[in-house]
Amino acid sequence: MAASAQARLARRSPRAATVFAALGDRTRLALVTRLCDGSRCSIAQLSDGQPLTRQAISKHLRVLEDAQIVRSERAGRENLYVLNPQPIADLGNYIELVSSQWDAALSRLKAFVEE
C-alpha cells in the first residue's frame, strides 16, 4: 500500500502547499490563533495591538481568505472575519499520512534488523 499512500500525498500536494504557505507567517498564525476561539472580528479589531498597519493586517487576511482558512462577511461598514477550520484539519490528515508512512518504514527496518 506504500505506492497508494504516496499517490494520495502527491494528489493533495498543490492544495496543501497553499494552506501550509498561508500558515507560514507569524502574523497570520497569530490571526488564526486569535480567531480559533470562534469569534468574528473586524479588521480594526484584529489589527489592534499588533505592531503593524491596518493595511498590512488586511493583506494577511486576504492571503488567509485565498487559502480558505478564513471567511469574510460584510456587516455594515465593517468586514467580519471568521475562521474556517476545514483546510487546517485537512493538513492534519496530510500530516498523519506522512507519519504513518514513516512508521511503516520504521517497522520494516526493525523487522529487517531482527530477522
* Angle CA 69–59–38, to nearest 5: 35
Contacting residue, 52, 56, 75, 109, with a copy of itself by CB under 8 A: 109
Contacting residue, 10, 38, 49, 77, with DNA by CB under 7 A: 77
Residues 19-58 that bind DNA (CB under 7 A): 21, 25, 27, 42-45, 51-56, 58
Amino acid letter for position 24: G
H or E stretch covering 33: helix 26-35
Contacting residue, 19, 31, 35, 63, with DNA by CB under 7 A: 63
